[in-house]
Structure 1
Amino acid sequence: MSMLMRAPRECASWFWDLEDYAPPGLQSALDTAARMSAVLQKYDLLRPSALEWHWAVPGKGSVAKTRLQLLRPLDDEQLARRIEELRPVGFPEAEFSGFLITGLGKWFDERGAQRQEYGLVELTVSSEPLGLSADVAVHHDIWGPFDFRGTPHPEVHQRNAPRLAAALKDLETLLGVIAEPGEPTYFGRAEGYGVGEPEAEGGRGPDLTDQL
């Protein structure tokens, strides 16, 4: 199991309403993202390397998508200025509401070998007029007891799921807010600090490969 299959929708996600944690605004969102990503990096789940976001015009919706390689820390004030400079020239009224932070994360296969995967854990921080919110999402089967084919993989699950659970607990401590589970998808749902166990039949989970 050296290659991971990635689901097009999340297997589980967790949401934090941060209205009472930090004020709205780009610099506040970047500061919060820096603190949250430091927790994820502590467990080798996400080493930030890029930001992605949409520019939206009121009444028109998204007009452009921007991707920026991270050459400085997330909370560096120069990064906030750089983001503002990337506003589409043809849409000076375009607004920035939040960003996706991506990068490499480490996972362990059934033999305990350490591997790296881009987008293993994704962090989104949004800044709306009333305040911030954040979301952590996972798209791979290593966090649950079955792979996407429905085959049990207890060694993989035991080597990876506890790190995700520990990181989510630390994020709750950092933010002072209990995470809310995101909406279930075809590929799974959040349950507590992990991916919920699906109904098994004959010792196997559901085969989800028809939508991969």
Structure 2
Amino acid sequence: MITSNPVGDWTWELTADSGEIRPVRAVQTAVTVWNELAKGSLAVPEGKAGILVRGGAKLRDVRLDASGLRLGPDPLAPGSDLAQAVAQAEALDGDFVLTIRIECPGYWLESGVRHRAEKLFSIQVEVWDGNELVVTLKTYSDAWLTMDTRDREQPEVYAANAPRLAAALESISALLGGAPIPGDENPHAAPSATGFKDLRSEGPAYVDSWGTFEGLNRASLLSARIPRSEDEYESYTENPVRYFTVQREGRTLGFVWASVDDAAAGYAPRTAVGDEAFEVGAGWLLRLRQAYTQGLSPLAALDWLAQGPPRSELGLITENGPREAESLDALEELSGRY
């Protein structure tokens, strides 16, 4: 399963022997970690980055905020988005706290098939007081676990992916000069220095952690993108649902759905697509609000969406008629698995 919050994280803390750690070193460190992930296809030569520089005394004093920087095979090539942002950071004077974050698309394996997630990992590098460098690696997939985040054992998936993660952590540690500090156990898993602990004997911290938490996390990410309103359908149902697939440029972004027998309708983002799934989903939820204010039933709203004029910015409905899932949980499983 692909999650919107991290499944686990690892941190390396480095202190400068002498001199000041400049922004260029922080960014070079982030790119170095990215390159190590890329050796095992845990990252691909594209992605997005952001650089945030805040005043050392007043962290609310934002001195540089460069987000959505597109990365290519050589992210620090002269004239690239990242290189230009680094130059701006290097020109700043005084004390500051710098954070660079890279979202890494990459591949995980199942049954010999490569599946891509637009945020398989994220890399964050922070500079504090000019002499402390903190590197944090986070993953958003459960492919490295002996049990997935729905409590199902997955020996083949684990065997195909866990060694790839262990090798990446080892190589990153060798480059940074020390072993990682595993993050705390979270609702999904318990990180270790080489990947994750095997929770099969003692069981996970939560039963079906993906089903318990992911729906809430997704709803929060979607609602943050649209105004609040009480004029909308219920967001949950225990009944079967009918749905349409939303695609753009051949990629599935999510599923717009309506309950068969009650008052619920909504949108299930395909988590593997990353932020794009949520940005598009906000637009579909606003259209569902329009249908609600017209007094349409959920199923009538679904037909209304399918028959409406196409809006390329929201993606397109691809089927001639709706499909049916036995439950909303089954549809959300589909949207979160691949």
Q: TM-score, structure 1 length as denominator? A: 0.81
Alignment pair present for 1:31 and 2:32: no
Deviation at 1:59, TM superposition (A): 2.6
Query: CA, structure 1 residues 7+146, in 2 after alignment: closer, same or farther (shift >3 Å)?
Result: farther
Q: Is the 8 A contact 2:66 2:85 kept in 1?
A: no
Deviation at 1:93, TM superposition (A): 9.0
Q: Where does structure 1 lack aligned partners over 5 or more consecutive residues? A: none
Deviation at 1:98, TM superposition (A): 1.5
Alignment pair present for 1:211 and 2:213: yes
Match of 2:113 in 1: 113
Q: Distance in 2 between matches of 1:45 and 1:160?
A: 10
Deviation at 1:134, TM superposition (A): 0.8
Query: CA, structure 1 residues 7+188, in 2 after alignment: closer, same or farther (shift >3 Å)?
Result: farther
Match of 2:41 in 1: 44
**Matched residue of 1:141: which SS?**
coil
- Identical-residue share of aligned pairs (%): 22
Please show how residues 107-186 of structure 1 align to structure 2 within 5 Å.
107-109=108-110, 111-128=111-128, 129-186=130-187
Query: Whose helix proportion is higher, 1 or 2?
Result: 2
RMSD: 3.0
Q: Which moved more, 1:36-45 or 1:186-195?
A: 186-195
Query: CA, structure 1 residues 21+102, in 2 after alignment: closer, same or farther (shift >3 Å)?
Result: farther
Q: Is the 8 A contact 1:54 1:62 kept in 2?
A: no
Query: CA, structure 1 residues 51+190, in 2 after alignment: closer, same or farther (shift >3 Å)?
Result: same
**Matched residue of 1:119: which SS?**
strand
Deviation digits for residues 147-177 of structure 1, max 9, x if unmatched? 1110111111111111000011111111211
| Structure with more contact order per residue of length (Cα contacts < 8 Å, sep ≥ 6) | 1
Q: Distance in 2 between matches of 1:112 and 1:72?
A: 26
Deviation at 1:82, TM superposition (A): 1.6
- One-letter code aligned to 2:52: H
Q: Is the 8 A contact 2:27 2:86 kept in 1?
A: no
Q: Distance in 2 between matches of 1:125 and 1:158?
A: 30
Q: Distance in 1 between matches of 2:202 and 2:9?
A: 25
Query: CA, structure 1 residues 21+33, in 2 after alignment: closer, same or farther (shift >3 Å)?
Result: farther
Q: Distance in 1 between matches of 2:153 and 2:163?
A: 17
Query: CA, structure 1 residues 199+107, in 2 after alignment: closer, same or farther (shift >3 Å)?
Result: closer
Alignment pair present for 1:19 and 2:15: yes
**Matched residue of 2:184: which SS?**
coil
**Matched residue of 1:32: which SS?**
helix
- One-letter code aligned to 1:83: A
Deviation at 1:103, TM superposition (A): 2.7
Query: CA, structure 1 residues 24+78, in 2 after alignment: closer, same or farther (shift >3 Å)?
Result: farther
Q: Which moved more, 1:164-173 or 1:132-141?
A: 132-141
Please tell me whether Structure 1 or Structure 2 has the larger radius of gyration of its CA atoms: 2
Q: Distance in 1 between matches of 2:42 and 2:49?
A: 16
Q: Distance in 2 between matches of 1:201 and 1:37?
A: 34
Deviation at 1:24, TM superposition (A): 1.2
Q: TM-score, structure 2 length as denominator? A: 0.53
Q: Where does structure 2 lack aligned partners over 5 or more consecutive residues? A: 215-338
- One-letter code aligned to 2:107: K
Q: Distance in 2 between matches of 1:135 and 1:147?
A: 23
Q: Distance in 2 between matches of 1:21 and 1:173?
A: 18
Q: Is the 8 A contact 1:11 1:139 kept in 2?
A: yes
Q: Distance in 2 between matches of 1:13 and 1:104?
A: 16
Q: Is the 8 A contact 1:27 1:77 kept in 2?
A: no
Deviation digits for residues 111-149 of structure 1, max 9, x if unmatched? 221121111122112222113221111121111011111
